Chains A and B, each alone.
Chain A
Amino acid sequence: ETGVTQSPTHLIKTRGQQVTLRCSSQSGHNTVSWYQQALGQGPQFIFQYYREEENGRGNFPPRFSGLQFPNYSSELNVNALELDDSALYLCASSDASGPNYGYTFGSGTRLTVV
């Protein structure tokens, strides 16, 4: 069984640019969540996708958007990058069909905005 794969692992962007991060969910998982982890902080929930629909959103502006594809992989898009967007972005997949679901996290994408 494959785990969660994120790409790229590291990325440097300039303020004002746009970025797309990608996530392949674990086999059999139908739900993908994205988290932002700033340096020295715990991960913060950005949003979740279930069966290609956004299914909950944290306190992030609309310039953070996402997609989920039929194979349950996902993208996180951030427009008009700001310096404070520099963080580790984590993708987590889960199977929300039962009471004992768990979350599997990828290794993350380290985004640096300069």
Chain B
Amino acid sequence: AQSVTQLGSHVSVSEGALVLLRCNYSSSVPPYLFWYVQYPNQGLQLLLKYTSAATLVKGINGFEAEFKKSETSFHLTKPSAHMSDAAEYFCAVSGGVYGGATNKLIFGTGTLLAVQP
């Protein structure tokens, strides 16, 4: 079975400060890992994904995440927070089976990021 744990349901940072959102996963198969962002009253937008290539993944809007198998972690970081980064962030894991077999996303409970001026 697969699962994701996001530590910290609320994170607050100052504008210009480092953003660190934590995600730990559990998976019995090599995982595919994703970070999504959700703005109020909107759907999910993909920030970045790990699909067993490079362990350091760069995404949109200056975000990046590092896959650490030994720590079963996939933390999301951004060097300098911007006011527009305020949103909810979800980490998700998938088994990544090809050819149409079930590859559902298992989501964490989300981290609400607040950016203070």
Contact = CB atoms under 8 A, between A and B. Distances in A.
Interface of A: 4, 6, 30-31, 33, 35, 40-45, 48, 50-51, 55-56, 58, 90, 92, 94, 96-108, 110
Contacts, number: 75
Given A90-B43, A97-B100, 10 more contacts: A43-B105, A43-B107, A45-B104, A94-B103, A96-B99, A97-B99, A99-B51, A103-B34, A105-B44, A105-B45
Contacts of B42: 107-108
10 contacts: A45-B105, A90-B43, A96-B98, A96-B101, A96-B103, A99-B96, A102-B34, A103-B46, A108-B42, A108-B43
A47 to B, nearest CB: 9
A106 B43 contact: yes
Interface SS of chain B: loop
Q: How large is the interface on B (under 10, 10 to 19, 20 to 34, 35 or more residues)?
A: 20 to 34
Interface of B: 34, 36, 41-46, 49, 51-52, 90, 92, 96, 98-110
A102 B100 contact: no
Contacts of A35: 105, 107
